[in-house]
């Protein structure tokens, strides 16, 4: 058997009731929710009961998705399955910081709360959004984006899916330009243009916050969105604070991350957390690997490796 990677879900997959079944069926998952509630009262209630409008606010989305991600991972480990590598998509990487032991669960949760707060402020400073481009290669998306001001390819998700951050005023025009090139542009339900210069003030604030945080060495390799390589694997990646800060204004190199994990011998990916967006992307990147997702009792029980 090859190696196993846990991949932590990102923002956008949230839904009302997420994590409730894990809370009910797994003591390890419940402990994660209890930890979150001890720091940010009502986090579990938001996950289980809040409507879409509340959950879609970045300041709520990030701590809630983080909690479900970490709870799902804890439930899988409780079942006796441990990963050889870890990666997370966007805020999922912060869950990875906690899971890998670089931060305690409590410090990682506080960090994601601060991150969500700062990114929410940045999103309100200038209205921006994100458009997923389908059916076009990344190079073509970059070519189209270059024709618009304040438009940046930011999520390199798969060979035929690249997400672009852009201003609200440019979003529809950009989508029309994509359509003219035989692609499809889908505006995402997010509150800002993440992983782009729209988040510069958030990155600054995050850098200041991180100055007072102690970050340890990972006990399982954690792959960075920025470099698509493990933390500590090169000179830049050894500066953990700079890497975490850079992540909010840098493209998510998801396709390269998955490809690099496969090169390291990973043949089984377990998406831990909300939904199965990453599972779908991984299958598009490489159809030969095994992919599972765990976000409720049924998917947890069905996990058989």
Is 195 an annotated catalytic residue? yes
Q: Check 90, 128, 191, 250 and give the catalytic one.
A: 90
Contact (Cβ atoms closer than 8 angstroms) between residue 132 and residue 281: no
What letters, b where the CB count within 10 A reaches 16 and e where it falls short, cover 59-78?
A: bbbbbbbbbbbbbbbbbbbe
Is 100 an annotated catalytic residue? no
Distances (CA, A) of 231 to 17, 100, 201, 234, 257: 33, 11, 24, 8, 12
Would you name the residues annotated as active-site residues? 90, 195
């Amino acid at each position: 058997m090859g190696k196993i990677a846990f991949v932590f879900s990102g923002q956008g997959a949230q839904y009302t009731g997420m994590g409730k079944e894990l809370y009910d069926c797994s003591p390890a998952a419940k402990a994660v929710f209890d930890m979150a509630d001890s720091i940010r009262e009502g986090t579990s209630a938001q996950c289980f009961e809040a409507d879409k409008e509340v959950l879609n606010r970045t300041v709520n989305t990030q701590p809630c998705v983080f909690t479900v991600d970490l709870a799902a991972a804890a439930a899988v480990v409780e079942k006796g399955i441990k990963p050889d590598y870890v990666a997370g998509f966007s805020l999922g990487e912060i869950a990875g910081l906690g899971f890998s032991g670089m931060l305690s669960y409590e410090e990682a949760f506080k960090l994601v709360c601060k991150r969500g707060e700062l990114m929410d402020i940045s999103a309100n400073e200038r209205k921006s959004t994100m458009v997923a481009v389908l059916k076009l290669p990344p190079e073509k998306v970059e070519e189209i984006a270059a024709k618009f001001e304040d438009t940046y390819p930011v999520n390199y998700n798969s060979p035929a899916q690249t997400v672009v951050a852009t201003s609200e005023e440019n979003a529809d025009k950009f989508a029309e330009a994509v359509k003219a090139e035989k692609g499809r542009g889908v505006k995402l339900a997010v509150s800002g243009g993440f992983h782009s210069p729209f988040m510069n003030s958030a990155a600054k604030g995050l850098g200041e916050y991180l100055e007072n945080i102690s970050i340890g060495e990972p006990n399982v390799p954690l792959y960075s969105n920025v470099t698509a390589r493990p933390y500590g694997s090169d000179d830049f990646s050894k500066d953990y604070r700079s890497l975490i800060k850079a992540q909010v204004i840098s493209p998510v190199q998801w396709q390269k991350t998955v490809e690099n994990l496969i090169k390291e011998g990973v043949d089984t990916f377990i998406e831990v957390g909300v939904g199965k967006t990453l599972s779908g992307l991984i299958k598009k990147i490489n159809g030969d690997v095994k992919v599972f997702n765990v976000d409720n009792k049924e998917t947890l029980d069905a996990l058989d490796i």
